[in-house]
Amino acid sequence: MTHPTPCSIRHFEALAPGETFALGTIRVTRDMIIGFATQFDPLPFHLDEEAARKSLLGGLAASGWQTGALSLRLLHEGPLATIAGLRIGAVNGLKWRKPVLVDDTITGKATIVALRPEHARPNGIAVFGLDIANQHGDSVMTLEIDIVVARKPAASGDAS
């Protein structure tokens, strides 16, 4: 059987440490903030403007888990679109540095900071450093995320 992934998909062997990717942008609306918070983080400062103003966040702000989820989407629309990624393995040193407020636009940068074999399994791990910033250039979240990446399949049984 022919391997289903197109030639343009990069396997673990094709990745290099230090590679940097500029990410796209997402405007975070009030509806998005309340929608995510209703499902995953129904605390007053993610749902209610008045409560948010009185809180440490200073205004209606996205759940940090939403900022993380949206940065994953940026990663998929960016580098992961052409990498044979399988799943998230781990996250380390995540810092929510500033609140993401209504109508902020987030973007950022992803860097491959390390490559290593997956423990006791056949795949590889690509460690991406993410720095997510708002429209003012202020960093709102930084983290390191381990993405499990498939190795190049063996040539046997592959006609091409």
Partner 1 sequence: MTRWFEDVSLNDAFPLGSHRFTAEEIAAFSAQYDPFTNLSGAAQPEASGWHVASLCHRYMVDAIAAEAERLSAAGQTPGISGPSPGVNRMDFPVPVHAGDTVAFTLWVTAKRPSQSLPGWGVLTNRLEGVNQHGAIVYRAEVVAFSKLRDYRMPLRLRLAWALTRLPGLRKLAHHRR
Footprint of partner 1 (CB under 8 A): 5, 39-43, 45, 55-57, 61, 63-65, 68-70, 72-73, 76, 80, 84-96, 99, 143, 146, 150
Beta carbons within 8 Å of 30's beta carbon, 6+ residues apart: 60, 102, 103
Q: Residue 107 Cβ, how far from partner 1 at the closest point, in Å?
A: 16
Q: Residue 154 Cβ, how far from partner 1 at the closest point, in Å?
A: 15
Q: Residue 41 Cβ, how far from partner 1 at the closest point, in Å?
A: 6
Q: Print burial letters for 79-96: b (CB count within 10 Å at least 16), e (below 16).
A: bbeebbbeeebeeeeeeb
Of the pair 18, 132, the CB lying nearest partner 1 is at: 132
- Evaluate the CA torsion angle 12, 17, 22, 27 in order and state its sign: positive
Q: Residue 152 Cβ, how far from partner 1 at the closest point, in Å?
A: 13
Of the pair 91, 114, the CB lying nearest partner 1 is at: 91
Of the pair 55, 107, the CB lying nearest partner 1 is at: 55
Beta carbons within 8 Å of 80's beta carbon, 6+ residues apart: 147
**Cβ of 28: how many Cβ atoms within 10 Å?**
22
